[in-house]
Amino acid sequence: MSSCSEWWVMTRDGKEEKNTGALSLLRREHVELIDEIGGWYGNIVLFNAGQGPAWRLWELKLPQSTLRAEGKPRPVTSGEAREVAPSLAANDTIAFERLTAALHIWKVDRASESRRAEAAKLTHDAAPDYSPNISANGRWLVFERGFGTKHNIWIKDMQSGAESLFVSSAMEKYSPIIDGTGRRLVFEGREENVASVFTAVQGQAPRKLTMGCENPTSWFDLNRSILCKEGLPSKIKMVDVETGALITVLEKKDYSLGDGTWSPQNQYLLFTASRNGTAKQVFAVRFRESARMPVGEWIPITSGTEFSGRPRWSGDGKTIFYLSTRDGFSCVWGQHFDPQSGRTTSPPFAVIHYHNPRFSPHVVVERAFSLSAAGDSIYLNVGEINTSVWIGTLKRHHSFSSLFQSQR
């Protein structure tokens, strides 16, 4: 809900209009409008909005005599599920959609063998799980968990299955990556909407490494450095995790670069490039550990006609996994790669399809989604949505409706 938007009322002939002040009132109450107004009955407006993690139907007093919002918004439904798209009839009958959603982390084994790939759910908490990252040895899985912007960073021991809290703080946290010991991670933190890269050791307070860089994506040089992106158009940077020293690794005029992922096995860097807002394309470039800088041509992995992102190396550095819309859906694809020739050795193959819009990475906002790989397995978070249509009757209580009856 933009801070400068408002609800206005206009006469049918369009000659008169009036600012109701309704959205300003809702902002003061920390209620965020989601959809259009569902209906106006008497002096009450029905709408749906969010407050914290809950999406409810609400009502607000808007007298037709003054056309100025007053009082406080009141919830009509419980908000146990996400209630959207309300529609109100003249007889006070209401219809709306109720959404139940989940966001869990899944593991896909044997990902380089398309016909044998097999997926299994790894997390089951009621809170959504964001930005999964697996350690290179496959032992430790880190992710964000929480509602709204209140995400804490959790870690899962893939041997024991135990989950525990790793970093808890009021700051906004994104894109954690974990080392092979499971004791040290790096993540993006935002303070007053300014991005910084932090490092954290289990049991200690996070330490800021550098400001301005965001979205850490990969370790480099025996976990001594990490790759992130900076600026707009963005460039790929490297941060020393001890000193915070920052250097530019890759940049190109008018191109936004990101998703830098390095393989110690083949000494190549994967990344995405987008020019002037065009679709992202995946490239690889030679990046020897001793060189400290990529050299040579950019090797195209995907075409410029599809949207591709989150490229990741398999553990042996011989397969590239990535998310692509090449078949019209957000699916995980792969390509085999020969480090000796620096070329792909197979056409793109589907690792796993997500053609059901109710179960897909497509329903996950870009900031919350991630793809990670260890060995021949990939890890990603997939959104699950179920919908049902409810109808009921608004029962008037004096001038305000506060009771609700519903039925499937």
235 and 211 within one domain: yes
Give the number of other Cβ atoms within 10 Å of residue 403's Cβ.
Answer: 11
Closest listed residue to residue 69, CA positions, set 33, 18, 17: 18
Q: CA-CA distances (angstroms) from residue 283 to 261, 302, 342? A: 11, 7, 11
Which band of pLDDT confidence, cut at 50, 70 and 90, is reported for residue 405? very low
Pairing of strands 331-338, 246-250: unpaired
289 and 345 within one domain: yes
Total structural domains within the chain = 2
C-alpha dihedral, 34 to 40 to 45 to 50, nearest 10° = -20
Whether residue 287 is contained in a domain is answered as yes
Q: Is the pLDDT of residue 266 over 90?
A: yes
Q: In what order do the strands lie in the sheet with 295-300?
A: 255-263, 268-275, 281-286, 295-300
pTM of this structure: 0.76
Whether residue 2 is contained in a domain is answered as no
**Phi–psi pair at 330, nearest 5 degrees:** -85, 95
Q: Is the pLDDT of residue 71 over 80?
A: yes
169 and 126 within one domain: yes
CB neighbours of 42 closer than 8 A, spacing ≥ 6? Answer: 64, 396, 399
Whether residue 331 is contained in a domain is answered as yes
187 and 141 within one domain: yes
139 and 29 within one domain: no
Q: Is the pLDDT of residue 52 over 70?
A: no
The tokens of 314 are what? 């398999």
CATH number at residue 227: 2.120.10.30
**Cα 366 off chain centre by:** 4
User: Would you call the peptide bond into 63 cis, given omega within 30 degrees of 0 as the criterion?
Assistant: no
69 is in which domain, residue-wise? 8-99+387-407
Backbone CA torsion sign across 374, 376, 382, 384: negative
Residues 107-147 have pLDDT tens digits of: 999 999 988 999 999 999 988 999 999 999 999 999 999 87
